[in-house]
Amino acid sequence: MRKVFLTLVLLAVASGPLVHQSVAQQAPQGRQVAELLSDAYGEESILLVKMMGSVKLDEIVTIVSRDGTYQELGEVEHVYGSYILLKAPLMNEYLAGSGIFQ
């Protein structure tokens, strides 16, 4: 049992940056730090945003669809002006106006 657990932990760590998809309607954690200025499609990792607060590097953000029906987590690699670069690509599509929380 312990060997299986350790193997699963190692696989999770080796799989790369944290990205999680959730279809449940849950309130995002933290405060809104940005809003998408243009649509972001699945497999994109560069987001054009309107900044509403400071975004911390190497920390998790929650991207929430405009209508709040789905969200996912992404880890911030870099912030440059009006762009947020995620360490892994998005799994869903988000319309302009979707919120980014941290």
> Which pLDDT tens digit goes with each residue over 23-43?
445 656 799 999 999 999 999
> Which pLDDT tens digit goes with each residue over 62-71?
999 999 999 9
SS3 track for the chain: CHHHHHHHHHHHHHCCCCCEEECCCCCCCCCEEEEECCCECCCCCEEEEEECCCCCCCCEEEEECCCCCCEEEEEEEEEECCEEEECCCCCCCECCCCEEEC
> Which pLDDT tens digit goes with each residue over 48-86?
999 999 999 999 999 999 999 999 999 999 999 999 999
Confidence of residue 8 (pLDDT cuts 50, 70, 90): very low
